[in-house]
Amino acid sequence: MQRISYCNGHFLPHQHANIVHIEDRGYQFADGVYEVMHVHHGVLVDLAPHLDRLDYSLGELGISYPCSSRRALESLMYEVIRRNRLEYGSIYVQVSRGVSKREFYFPKKPVTPSLVITAQRMQPFNPALLQQGIKIVTLKDARWKRCDIKSIALLAPVLAKQHAAQRGAYETWQVDEEGYITEGASTNAWIVKGKTLQTTPATHSILNGITRQRLMVLAKDMGLKILEKRFTEADILKADEAFLSSTTTYLLPLSSLNGKAVKRGTIALALREKYAEYCARATR
Ligand code: PMP
């Protein structure tokens, strides 16, 4: 089946979706934001909080809304889902400030933001990952100081992912100047101590994951406590369990950190189960 993408008013075969202008500020300056949403049974999971975060990112950067309304954007996303006959996968939405002569400051005359929407089918998931756990490595956090904005400026995460790939690891957890873990290149970081889940607080140093927020609600329903407090590599090695979370991975438990064993338990897997049930329930 042909993959269809949306680009600035047009639905195009994906291989021909190459109509972004060379002076698009997203291309020139990474002057734009994005969202990735999970599609379960043809329905977008946690659509409202994802669109709230998109509003926040756009607002922080002073980029105009790319559609006449939130409803109009939702309709476009569902049209991309429909045209791709997407049952399980993800929708990527990118908004850049628009096309303008290459000058650093915002365009003097208002420009129309560029909007791109693509769909991707879910990669087959290897359930052995849940039993084996994943390998994590660490790297100094080289990102800017507004990681709360879901900006398309992703060079530091690209390097962090490559760092992991070259070491046979699944993900890189980034470490701030004081030795605390901020988050993964594209995932949030957690440890488990007894019945408490500890995760980095949602400051400007991390992206407040929608999965992170959903897991907090589900964890409380399971009688677990949440502690939003920074932790170090040493804390991970002492913890009962550690795991990461994101829209596309749900939740994955760690087996090692920089080659050192991380303890395994039952809480991360039980919470993942709750999250999977939530996705099924929310999209029925
Ligand atoms: N942190 C970063 C840096 C990310 O890029 C992502 C993925 N968008 C996350 C955390 C997880 O966020 P979410 O649960 O909304 O996918």
pLDDT tens sequence across 50-63: 999 999 999 999 99
Nearest CA, atom 3, ligand 1: 186
For residue 14, give the nearest of 120, 122, 124, 153 by alpha carbon.
120
From-to residues of CATH 3.30.470.10 in the chain: 4-121
From-to residues of CATH 3.20.10.10 in the chain: 128-282
Query: Is 135 a known active-site residue?
Result: no
Burial class, 134, CB count within 10 angstroms (exposed 0-12 / middle 13-18 / buried 19+): buried
pLDDT reported for residue 200: 98
Residue 77 CB less than 6 A away from ligand 1 = no
CATH class in words for 4-121: alpha beta
Residue 200 CB less than 6 A away from ligand 1 = no
Residue 36 CB less than 6 A away from ligand 1 = yes
For residue 183, give the nearest of 164, 198, 161, 199 by alpha carbon.
199
Residue 147 CA: nearest ligand 1 atom is 3
Of 101, 108, 145, 150, which residue is the catalytic one?
A: 150
CATH superfamily of 128-282: D-amino Acid Aminotransferase, subunit A, domain 2 (3.20.10.10)
Q: For residue 199, give both structure tokens.
A: 């995760």
- Ligand 1 midpoint to CA 150 (Å): 8
pLDDT reported for residue 247: 97
Question: Which residue shows structure tokens 């749900």?
Answer: 250
pLDDT reported for residue 1: 84
- What's the pTM value of the predicted model, to 2 decimals? 0.97
pLDDT reported for residue 211: 98
Nearest CA, atom 2, ligand 1: 186
Distance CA(135)–CA(202), nearest Å, equals 24
pLDDT reported for residue 145: 98
pLDDT reported for residue 270: 98
* Residue 93: strand pairing partners: 35, 117
- Ligand 1 midpoint to CA 110 (Å): 30
Residues of the chain with pLDDT under 70: none
Residue 246 CB less than 6 A away from ligand 1 = yes
Q: Are 265 and 192 in contact (CB under 8 A)?
A: yes
Distance CA(86)–CA(94), nearest Å, equals 19
pLDDT reported for residue 203: 98
pLDDT reported for residue 117: 98
Distance CA(208)–CA(221), nearest Å, equals 20
Residue 185 CA: nearest ligand 1 atom is 3
pLDDT reported for residue 256: 98
